Amino acid sequence: MNTRSQILLWAAQRASAVVLALCVLVHLVTVIYAVRSGLSAAEILGRTRGNLAWGGFYALFVAALAVHAPIGLRNALSEHLRWRGWTLEAAMLLLAGVLLVLGLRAVWAVFA
């Protein structure tokens, strides 16, 4: 991987961290609200189904996670297992794809 790509990966991880920090905050407040208000699963689904704002928010959450986690894991694996090169890049790309698919599937389940 060339130097420019390495820099852009670093920038993407920092930018996705900012998005994640906000998303986690909103998510936690939402969870606390839902629990304290005693909302049932049906009531929660009633508010999320067809709601573009919630769907969009959680899709953004998943996208930020799919960017952030593989880049961080790439560094950890490289430093601690000395795993480098194209096999590592391919594995992390695969991980990003899996996180994205599983995450969006979960979002779709509460949106559709």
Q: Which is nearer to other proteins, 1 or 109 (CB)?
A: 1
Q: Which is nearer to other proteins, 44 or 88 (CB)?
A: 88
Cβ neighbours of 3 (radius 10 Å):
7
Task: Considering only the stretches 20-28, 38-46, 74-82, 95-103, report the one whose residues sit in contact with other proteins under the rule CB under 8 A.
Answer: 74-82
Residue 83 binds to other proteins (criterion: CB under 8 A): no
Residue 78 binds to other proteins (criterion: CB under 8 A): yes
Give the phi and the psi of residue 85 in degrees, each rounded to 5.
95, -170
Burial (CB count <10 Å: 0-12, 13-18, 19+), residue 71: middle
Task: Considering only the stretches 1-9, 49-57, 60-68, 104-112, report the one whose residues sit in contact with other proteins under the rule CB under 8 A.
Answer: 1-9
Residue type, 77: L
